[in-house]
Amino acid sequence: MSNLNGSQPGNNGQAKGQPALRVIPLGGLHEIGKNTCVFEYGDDLMLVDAGLAFPSDGMHGVNVVLPDTSYLRENQKRIRGMIVTHGHEDHIGGIPHHLKNFNIPIIYGPRLALSILTGKMEEAGVMDRTILQTVSPREVVKVGQHFSVEFIRNTHSMADSYTLAITTPAGVIVFTGDFKFDHTPVDGEHFDIARLAHYGEKGVLCLFSDSTNAELPGFCPPERSVFPHLDRHISQAEGRVIITTFASSIHRVSMILELALKNGRKVGLLGRSMLNVIAKARELGYMRAPDELFVPIKQIRDLPDRETLLLMTGSQGEPLAALSRISRGEHPQVQVKSSDTIIFSASPIPGNTISVVNTIDKLMMLGAKVVYGKGEGIHVSGHSFQEDHKLMLALARPKFFVPVHGEHRMLVAHAKTAHSMGVPADHTLIIDNGDVVELTPDSIRKGDPVKAGIELLDASRNGIVDARVLKERQQLAEDGVITLLAVITTDGVMAAPPRVNIRGVVTTADARKLSLWAEREITWVLENRWTQLSRNTGGKAPDVDWVGVQREVELGLQRRLRRELQVEPLIICLVQPAPAGTPAYKGRADAEPDSRPAPRGRRDGGRDGGREGGREISREIVRDPARVAAAAAAPAPAAAPAPVAKEPTPSVAEAEPEGRIRRRRSAAVAG
């Protein structure tokens, strides 16, 4: 097979000079999570999904990771609408936040997904910002002038999930969404393979396909295959059964409820998302379970252990989820018993493995029997394997192919599968977030990329944790913090010794040493930078840039600590201004020589090197009022650059900040 697509290039009736279709993923590539894709043609912009991702290690206090949406904000006038493929967090979780930042006039999606989304939007207070429009299988919706989108039922770990056939002036795009081919779906809703084949027959310009399991050979086992294994563990359990899975794995949860009924166990639910999703799914008829099956968690303790099944969140070891709290003995209602059987019916998302195994360890140490891992047959994926990918390629018969929804190696493996099916290598693109796929009826190419990256939301889900905040949090966590209180008069005199507080810093230097260093930095700033930082307004007191003073002292101390102690704590300097004329504090800095002469860079030579730099001169000036005036009038670079240049440039030394002019100042010390 040389090419899956039988159609000839350029036979779509396209006139030359038509704009290209642009497809721009802003999230979901080179990662699993925050799937967000932009389709553009002419003046129309359509979004497909807008998900979130969870923070990785080092993202302290970050709750949610979203894609950078600068591009959407800049182009919001062109946004005609959004399509949602299914209700997983990595596809809808970003929407409530985005609605606060830019306008999405209408969102089309499956009933279950939009119902879950409604809950999130209500919580975020953005219900009035858009219109939610539910769709049915094979329904076609028009978005803007140029897009019409057909929803093709597919099978996935979540119910009510769709593959999209997007008809554009450039051709038809099949966008798989998350899928597997499950021929015995738990809810009886089959993949509409016939419809997919219909589009393949007509001619598909490009296939964008889910790559999550592209490295795994064979077919993904059907969801039903876990049923007998779960049944065995539940029926053999002597005491309580505790099961954790994703709340959104609707089919899995359905089977667990069915098994509870079959085995004569009542069900207690723990975890907010578990309660929410089950309520929505039952309300909409995606899950059938009698009301009597459920018992409030407070009453479930009155039941015999053999008649109890607890279904809860925490399959990913999330620190605040029910099972994680139970494993730490911190749950108010549930404590682990040695007779418990605890079943992990989920596999860790890459990145969560460590927290999951830690939770398993803790539960085992409490004496419970823990069932987990691949060999038990208690979990299957919701995403296609290689043979399923081949089936998708065979049905869609695309001219061009772009693997999406996956980390880099998954994309590469998926492209390989496509090549094995006859899609030529130059008809395939491996792309990253922000890349622009430009498609015409005869060509595929990468255009100039748009801005892509991440936005981090803190625990409140309102504040954005920007790069600076994250860096500060990492510094706090890894290197601790030093606070420094300096009393400085409005005429630039240090009026008291600086007070230093150290928290979480591993250092051989004691507070006294640090306070001495701080004193040196303050003195340096007062001697060399005061003129720039204070502006004489003509009145009595000069207008002082106190923030600038603080920043200068912080930077100086930071450099010194990096150099002398190889630590980089967060440094916070607070200046308490004192009235002009307050007597100067007679510092120790002059009395005590630097025990470890610092390596000198351009700046340090002038800053505190003293021995050949400006400092020594400036000290003399301090002591000889007659020379003060002369030196003040003299041009600045008396800081003897020549000796500095002879010394090797130390690696830690930084280039002089732009515009830093060394000028000696006398007023502060003359008095």
Positions that interact with Zn ion (CB under 5 A): 88, 90, 178
Which CB atom, from 88 or from 600, has the smaller least distance to Zn ion?
88
Token pair recorded at residue 553: 């002292």
DSSP 53: B
Which CB atom, from 90 or from 612, has the smaller least distance to Zn ion?
90
Q: How far is the CB of 405 from Zn ion (least distance, A)?
A: 6
Which CB atom, from 210 or from 521, has the smaller least distance to Zn ion?
210
CA distance 486 to 488: 6
Are 75 and 41 in contact by the 8 Å Cβ rule? The answer is: no
Q: How far is the CB of 82 from Zn ion (least distance, A)?
A: 16
Q: How far is the CB of 406 from Zn ion (least distance, A)?
A: 10
Q: How far is the CB of 211 from Zn ion (least distance, A)?
A: 11
Closest CA to 619 of 664, 585, 556, 662: 664
Which CB atom, from 88 or from 265, has the smaller least distance to Zn ion?
88
Buried b (16+ CB within 10 A) or exposed e, 312-340: bbbbbbbeebbbbbbbeeebeebebeeeb
Which CB atom, from 383 or from 399, has the smaller least distance to Zn ion?
383
DSSP 225: G
Which CB atom, from 180 or from 397, has the smaller least distance to Zn ion?
180
Angle, alpha carbons 437-439-441 (nearest 5°): 165
CA 302 to chain CA centroid, Å, is 42
Which CB atom, from 178 or from 318, has the smaller least distance to Zn ion?
178
Q: How far is the CB of 139 from Zn ion (least distance, A)?
A: 20
Which CB atom, from 93 or from 609, has the smaller least distance to Zn ion?
93
Query: What are the phi and psi torsion angles at 216 (to 5°)?
Result: -95, 125
DSSP 10: T
Q: How far is the CB of 251 from Zn ion (least distance, A)?
A: 12
Q: How far is the CB of 33 from Zn ion (least distance, A)?
A: 8
Closest CA to 234 of 295, 293, 308: 308
DSSP-H helix ranges across 343-459:
353-365, 386-396, 408-420
DSSP-H helix ranges across 4-94:
70-74, 89-92
DSSP secondary structure of 290-337: -GGGB--HHHHTTS-GGGEEEEES-TT--TTSHHHHHHTT--SS----
Which CB atom, from 176 or from 341, has the smaller least distance to Zn ion?
176
Are 423 and 393 in contact by the 8 Å Cβ rule? The answer is: yes
CA 410 to chain CA centroid, Å, is 20
Closest CA to 427 of 448, 406, 397, 452: 397
Strand pairing category for 454-458 and 464-465: antiparallel
Which CB atom, from 90 or from 318, has the smaller least distance to Zn ion?
90
Which CB atom, from 92 or from 484, has the smaller least distance to Zn ion?
92
At CB < 8 A and 24+ separation, what contacts does 274-279 make?
274/247, 274/311, 274/312, 274/313, 274/322, 276/116, 276/119, 276/247, 277/116, 277/247, 277/248, 277/250, 277/253, 278/247, 278/253
CA distance 208 to 422: 16
Which CB atom, from 313 or from 558, has the smaller least distance to Zn ion?
313
Closest CA to 36 of 438, 399, 455: 455
Q: How far is the CB of 77 from Zn ion (least distance, A)?
A: 29
Q: How far is the CB of 49 from Zn ion (least distance, A)?
A: 8
Q: Which residues, 6+ apart, have CB-to-CB distance to 70 below 8 Å?
A: 451
Q: How far is the CB of 254 from Zn ion (least distance, A)?
A: 16
Q: How far is the CB of 533 from Zn ion (least distance, A)?
A: 53
